[in-house]
Structures are given as structure tokens and as C-alpha cells.
């Protein structure tokens, strides 16, 4: 599993919402409770970069994550560019 931010648009009331979850799965509309709305877009948040003072830390949501991302520190870099390049190599491996 991984971690995703899913964007939804309700097929009944046409409103938008977003949830983060461990899969790009269907959701229930929070406005009219229409079931099985399909995500129109999913942003992969499995690997993210956070800044802490002068360091850019790569966090990973492990395959065991289910209800929370359970982020753990993979590596830290001196620039955001290096951290993002590192994530690209991770994405290639998985
Ligand atoms: Zn709805």
C-alpha cells in the first residue's frame, strides 16, 4: 500500500471533496451520502519532503500503513532539489 490524496466529485450532487487514504479507493459523498464515488484524481503522497531547519527530510509511508500514513524518515538532504531527485529514484525502484 501507499498513501494517496484522493479528489472526488459526486455523481449525484456534483460537489467536490478530498480525502487522504492508503489506497485510491471509492468513497461516500459527505454531502448527500451517495455511495461508491470514484476518485477523479489521486496524488501519490507515499514519499514526501518536509523541511526542518536547514534539512530537507524524505518521509515514506510504509506498506503497512492503513489508517494513518505512519511516515518514517528515509533520508535527509541539504536542498529540496536533492530530496526530490532522491524520491524519483525511489519511485523507479518500487
Ligand atoms: Zn453527493
Residue 90: pLDDT band (50, 70, 90) is confident
Between residues 6 and 92, the one the model is more confident about: 6
pLDDT tens digit sequence for 4-16: 999 999 999 999 9
**Ligand 1 geometric centre to CA of 1 (Å):** 27
Q: How far is the CA of 21 from the centre of ligand 1 (A)?
A: 19
Q: What is the DSSP string of 6-51?
A: EEEE-TTT--EEEEEESS---B--TTT--S-BPEEEEEE-SEEEEE
Residue spans of the domains in the chain: they are 4-44, 47-93
- The per-residue pLDDT for range 7-52, each reduced to its tens digit, is 999 999 999 999 988 877 899 999 999 999 999 999 999 999 999 9
Q: Report d(CA 78, CA 72) in Å as an integer.
A: 18
Closest CA to 9 of 27, 24, 25, 22: 27
Question: In the structure grid, which three cell numbers stand for residue 78, read together?
Answer: 541539504
Terminal-residue alpha carbon distance, the chain: 11
pTM: 0.77
pLDDT for the residue 78: 98
Measured in Å, residue 61 CA sits from the centre of ligand 1 at: 30
For residue 8, the CA-to-ligand 1 centroid distance in Å is: 10
Give 35 Cα–ligand 1 centroid separation in angstroms: 8
Mean pLDDT, the chain, whole residue set: 92
CB neighbours (10 Å) of residue 5? Answer: 15
Amino acid at each position: 500500500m501507499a498513501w494517496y490524496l484522493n479528489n472526488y466529485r459526486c455523481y449525484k450532487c456534483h460537489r467536490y471533496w478530498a480525502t487522504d487514504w492508503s489506497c485510491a479507493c471509492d468513497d461516500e459523498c459527505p454531502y448527500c451520502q451517495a455511495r461508491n464515488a470514484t476518485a477523479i484524481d489521486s496524488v501519490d503522497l507515499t514519499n514526501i519532503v518536509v523541511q526542518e531547519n536547514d534539512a530537507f527530510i524524505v518521509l515514506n509511508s510504509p506498506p503497512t500503513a492503513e489508517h494513518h500514513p505512519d511516515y518514517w524518515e528515509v533520508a535527509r538532504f541539504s536542498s529540496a532539489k536533492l530530496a526530490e531527485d532522491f524520491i524519483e529514484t525511489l519511485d523507479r525502484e518500487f
